[in-house]
Amino acid sequence: MGQKLTPMMQQYFSIKEEYEEAILLFRLGDFYEMFTDDAKLAARELELTLTSRNKGKGKKTPMAGIPYHAADSYIAQLIDKGYKVAICEQVEDPSQAKGIVKREVVRVITPGTVIDSEMLEDKSNNYLAAIISNEEGFGFAAVDISTGEFTVTQLTDDEAEEKLIDELARIDPAECLITKEIEEKRVFNYIQEHLNPILNQIEERFNYRQAYELLTDHFGVNSLKGFGCDDLDLAIEAAGAALSFLIETQKQSLDHLNRLITYSTEDYMVLDANTRRNLELVETIRNGDFKGSLLWVLDQTVTAMGGRKLRKWIEQPLLNPQQIKQRLEAVAELKDNIFFKEELKEKLKEVYDIERLMGKITYGSANGRDLNALKSSLAKLPAVKEILKEFSTAKLEKLNAELDTLEDVHALIAESIKEEAPVNVKEGELIKDGYDEDLDELRQAMQSAKDWLTNLEKEEKERTGIKSLKVGFNKVHGYYIEITKANLDSVPDNYERKQTLANSERYITEELKEKEAKILGAEERSVELEYRLFTEIRDKVASETKRIQLAADIIAQLDVLVSLAEVAINNNYCQPEITASDVIEIEKGRHPVVEEMLNEEGFVPNETYLDCDQDRFLIITGPNMSGKSTYMRQVALITLLAQIGSFVPATKAHIGIVDRIFTRVGAADDLTTGQSTFMVEMNEVANILNNATQQSLIILDEVGRGTSTYDGLSIAWAVTEYISNLNKIGAKSLFATHYHELTELEEQLSGVKNYNVAVKEQNGEIAFLHKIVPGRANESYGIEVAKRAGIPNQVIDRASEVLAKLEAETKDYQQQIEQKAETEIEQLNEDAELDLNKKEKIEETNNLTQLPLFNSANIEFIQELSGLDIMSMTPLEAMNTLHEFQQKAKKELEREGLA
C-alpha cells in the first residue's frame, strides 16, 4: 500500500499529469520548486543542489528549487537546451485561502513561444512553424509570438516540397508542429538533419472547418477573404494549428496577433537552402559566424526591429522592378542628404524594440519600465515625421504619410506612470500623483500619518527624556517605539511591550495602534488601487496595438534604408540600374564581404557581362586560389543586393531581374544519410537542372570532380550543353572548372564563352592577378598552390618530377600516334590507283590525329558519333554513350598496337 501524499503533493502530481512533457515549476512562496524526475533533470542541467522532501516513513521525494525573482535566467537556460517549462502559480491570496492555496499553470514556455527579450536575440526572429500536408501539397504557417508576426502560405505545384524546405531554411524555426504524414516525407529528414527544432506532433488532423472558425473568432472577422487566404485550405489548417497551440500553451491574451499575412513564394527570388548557405547570407559556412556574412557587411541598423527587417529583405529579394526602384531611390536620397540622414539616425537610436514591447503589453507581462520604454520610443515619432518632410522620393513620402505619431498613447503613459517605476507591479510606487483622485487621497492620508509619526518621536523624546528613543517600522511587526535597555527605567506606564531584542525593547501604544491600522490599511488599498490602475493603463495601450505595430514597421523600414545608405557611402557602392531585361552587366565589381575582410590589402575588381544570347554561359578556368570562386559569388551577391534595393560594390551595374539564384559550390560527405561527396554534388546539380529557368542565375564551382576523370568530364560536358541550350534552360551561368577540355565548347555551342584568371610568370615565380579575362587557361598551377599552402618541399619536388614524367609520357604517346599515322599515309600514297577502301583508310588515319580525344580510325564509328542528337540527351544518357565510345576506342587502339 502506497504512502499517502500530503494535500500539497497531491495537488502537484495532479497538475503534473496534465503537463508530463514539460518541467513543472511549482510556486511555493518565494520559490519555484521541482520534484521527482523534474528535480533530477533541473539539478543536472542548471547545476542546482538536489535535496529531498519527506514523504513519511523514511521515504524521500527528490526536490530542487529556484528563487521566483531570478527564475527568468534559469528558464532561459532550460529553453535554450530544448526543454518545455510549465509555470504553475498561486492564483489566490494565501491569507484568504481555505485549505491549500489554489494553483494553476498560467503558461507553458517552449522554444517557439518565448516572449521575454532576455531570452531572445535582438535582431533575429523566433519562429513557431506549423506544417500540414495532403496529396495536393503543403500548408505552412510561421508565428513569432514575441513580435506579433503571423504569416501563412500554401504550396501545391510540382516543386512544393522543395519550396517548403527553402522556407524552413529561411526562417529556421525554433519549434515545429507537424502531422503524422510529414514524418514520411523528405522535408522531415531535412528538418531533423539541418534545423533541429523542437518537434511537436499534431495528434489529430486540425481540419479546415475547425481552423477557419478558430481564426475568424480570433481576428473578429466573418471570413478570411480580407487576409487573402479564404480559399487556401491547407494554409488555413496550418494557421489554425499554430494558433490552437498558442492558445493552449500561453493561456494569455494573443491580441497582438491581429493580422494574418498571406504570401506567395512567387513574390520573391527563390533561394534554396544550398544557395543561402553557399552565399553566406546571414552566417558563414565554416563556423556559422555572423562576421563574414553578407548581413554583417550590411547591418548598420540601430534598432532591433531594423535588424530583423534587414535580415528579411536579404532572405527575400524582390522580383518587382518598381518596388526595387522605390527602395533604391529612397537609399539614394538618404545617401545624398547626409545631414538629414544623420539626424534621422540619431532619433532612431533612441527607439526601443516596440514590436517586442507590444508583445509583452498585450500579453499582460509588461511592467512600468516597459511602458516607459514605449513612451520614450513614441516620443521620437513626431521628430522622425518632421525630418521625413525633407525627402521627396515615393518610398519615403509614403512612409511619412503612414507614420502615426501616437501622441495620445504617449500622453497616456506620460501622465500616469512614474519615471522610476519599480520592476514589480504589485508593490506600489507606479502611478504619478494627480492621475487618480482616490489614489491621491489615500496617499495624503498615509503622508499625514507618517508626518504624525515623525512628530510622535520628537514628542516622546521630550516627554520621556530618553534621547535615544526611536519610532520605527518593519513588515513583520509593524510600527513600534524602540528603547535601549539602559533606559528601561524611564519607560512610561502606557507603553505595552511588543518585542524583546538583545539590546533593546520595542513597545506600542493605543494611539500608535490606531495610526498603524490607518496607515497600513491605506497602504494596502493604495497598492491594490495602483495595480488596478496600471492594468487599466496597460490594457488601454494594448487596445492600440495595430496602430503601434504599423508605426514600428515603418521605423524598421526607415532603419534599414538608412543602414543601406550608410553602407553605400562608407563602402563606395553605386546605384544599380534595374530592368526587366535579361542582361547582367557589372563594371569593376567587387565581393562585398571579401573586400571588407581584406581591409588595407585592396580588392581587384572585375567586369561581368551576361545575357541570354551570346554570353549566357561563361566557362572560367584558372588555378586554385586565383579568385574564380570569389568572382562568381560576387556576381551572385551583387545581383541579390540589387534586388533587395541596396546599392552594390561596383562603379556601374545594370541588373536584369533574375527569378532564382542557384549555387553548386563545393560539397562534403553527408554521413547522416550515407551520401558521398559525389552524391551530394549530383543532388545539387539535379536540383539546378530540374528547376532553373531562363531567368535564373546559375553558379557552378566545379562539377564532376568527385568521380573518375572521364566520368566527371562527361558529366560536366553534358551539364554544360544542357544548361546553355535555350530549348532546355538557357540561363545566365558561370562555371568554374579544371576540365580544360570543356573550353572546346566555345566553338561548338552558341552562347558559351571562355574566361580565365590572369597569371603572371616572372623569374620562375607565379603571381595570381585575380583578374578575369577572355580566353582559356593554359595550366592549372596546382603544384604552385600546394607549395603556397605549406606542403613540404620534398613532396613538392617529387610532385614536380611525377608531373614532368606524366607530361613526357603523354607527349611520347601523342608522337607515336602521329608517326604511325604519317607512315600509313605514305604507304597508301605510294599506290597510284587508290580505291575507295584505301581513301577511307587515309581518312581514318587522318581522323586519328584530328580526334585525339577518341583515337578512332573506324569510319563506322565516326558515322555513329556524328549521327548522335547530343542536344536531346540527358546528362546520364550522354555519360553512358561516351563510356561506350571509350570502350570501342580502347579496342581499336589495341588492334592497332597503340594500347
Segment 155-183 mean pLDDT:
92
Q: State the pLDDT at residue 447.
A: 85
pLDDT at 817 over 60: no
Segment 381-401 mean pLDDT:
97
Distance from C-alpha of 79 to C-alpha of 112, rounded to nearest angstrom: 9
Classify residue 109 as left (phi > 0), alpha (psi -120 to 50) or beta.
beta
Q: State the pLDDT at residue 825.
A: 53
SS3 613: coil
Q: Rank 1-10, 149-158, 700-709 by mean pLDDT and report only the highest.
A: 149-158
Distance from C-alpha of 218 to C-alpha of 239, rounded to nearest angstrom: 12
Segment 642-658 mean pLDDT:
98
Residues near 656 by Cβ (< 8 Å), separated by ≥ 6?
A: 579, 580, 581, 582, 583, 584
Q: State the pLDDT at residue 851.
A: 42
Q: For residue 39, how many other CB atoms are within 10 A of its CB?
A: 22
- 652-656 and 584-589: which strand pairing? antiparallel
> Could you report the per-residue pLDDT of 259-269, keeping only the tens digit for each?
999 999 999 99
Q: State the pLDDT at residue 195.
A: 83
Residues near 488 by Cβ (< 8 Å), separated by ≥ 6?
A: 505
pLDDT band at 833 (very low <50, low <70, confident <90, very high): very low
pLDDT at 586 over 50: yes
Distance from C-alpha of 466 to C-alpha of 883, rounded to nearest angstrom: 113
Q: State the pLDDT at residue 252.
A: 83
Residues near 21 by Cβ (< 8 Å), separated by ≥ 6?
A: 84
pLDDT at 803 over 70: no
Q: State the pLDDT at residue 175.
A: 93
Q: Rank 518-532, 683-697, 823-837 by mean pLDDT and report only the highest.
A: 683-697
**Which has more pLDDT, 839 or 181?**
181
> Could you report the per-residue pLDDT of 22-71, keeping only the tens digit for each?
999 999 988 999 999 999 999 999 999 888 876 555 568 899 999 988 88
Rg from Cα positions in the chain: 38
Q: State the pLDDT at residue 568.
A: 98
pLDDT band at 603 (very low <50, low <70, confident <90, very high): confident
Cβ proximity of 102 and 202 under 8 Å: no
Q: State the pLDDT at residue 868.
A: 67
HSE-up of 522 (CA within 13 Å, CB side)?
A: 19
β-bridge mates for residue 496, sequence order: 508
Classify residue 208 as left (phi > 0), alpha (psi -120 to 50) or beta.
alpha
Distance from C-alpha of 759 to C-alpha of 819, rounded to nearest angstrom: 35
pLDDT band at 884 (very low <50, low <70, confident <90, very high): confident
pLDDT band at 446 (very low <50, low <70, confident <90, very high): confident
Q: State the pLDDT at residue 855.
A: 42
Cβ proximity of 681 and 351 under 8 Å: no
**Which has more pLDDT, 517 or 497?**
497
Q: State the pLDDT at residue 483.
A: 93
Distance from C-alpha of 568 to C-alpha of 298, rounded to nearest angstrom: 9
pLDDT band at 452 (very low <50, low <70, confident <90, very high): confident
Cβ proximity of 722 and 729 under 8 Å: yes
pLDDT band at 117 (very low <50, low <70, confident <90, very high): confident
> Could you report the per-residue pLDDT of 457-499, keeping only the tens digit for each?
899 999 999 999 999 888 788 889 999 999 999 999 999 999 9
pLDDT at 720 over 80: yes
Q: State the pLDDT at residue 680.
A: 82
Cβ proximity of 110 and 119 under 8 Å: no
What average pLDDT does the structure give for the chain?
86
**CA-based torsion, 617, 623, 629, 632: positive or negative:** negative
**Which has more pLDDT, 451 or 387?**
387
Distance from C-alpha of 18 to C-alpha of 589, rounded to nearest angstrom: 61
Q: State the pLDDT at residue 669.
A: 40
pLDDT band at 854 (very low <50, low <70, confident <90, very high): very low
Distance from C-alpha of 571 to C-alpha of 88, rounded to nearest angstrom: 53
Structural domains in the chain, CATH included, are 7-109 (3.40.1170.10), 121-267 (3.30.420.110), 320-406+544-570 (1.10.1420.10), 437-527 (1.10.1420.10), 577-788 (3.40.50.300), 807-896 (no CATH)
Q: State the pLDDT at residue 850.
A: 46
Helix (H), strand (E) counts: the chain: 30, 27
CA distances from 505 to 467, 489, 492, 501 (A): 15, 12, 13, 6
Q: Which of 145-149, 275-279, 665-669 has the lowest mean pLDDT?
A: 665-669
Tracing cell 494557421 back to the chain, one arrives at 239
Task: Tell me phi and psi for residue 156, to 5 degrees.
Answer: -135, 5
pLDDT at 877 over 50: yes
The helix (run of H) or strand (run of E) holding residue 333 is helix 321-336
Residues near 757 by Cβ (< 8 Å), separated by ≥ 6?
A: 620, 621, 622, 623, 626, 627, 628, 631, 768, 769, 770, 771, 772, 773, 777
DSSP-derived letter for residue 195 is I
DSSP-derived letter for residue 4 is P
Share of the chain above pLDDT 70, in %: 83
Segment 851-873 mean pLDDT:
57
Q: For residue 654, how many other CB atoms are within 10 A of its CB?
A: 17
Segment 553-572 mean pLDDT:
98
Cβ proximity of 153 and 167 under 8 Å: yes
Q: State the pLDDT at residue 671.
A: 37
> Could you report the per-residue pLDDT of 740-783, keeping only the tens digit for each?
889 999 999 999 999 988 877 666 666 667 889 998 876 655 55
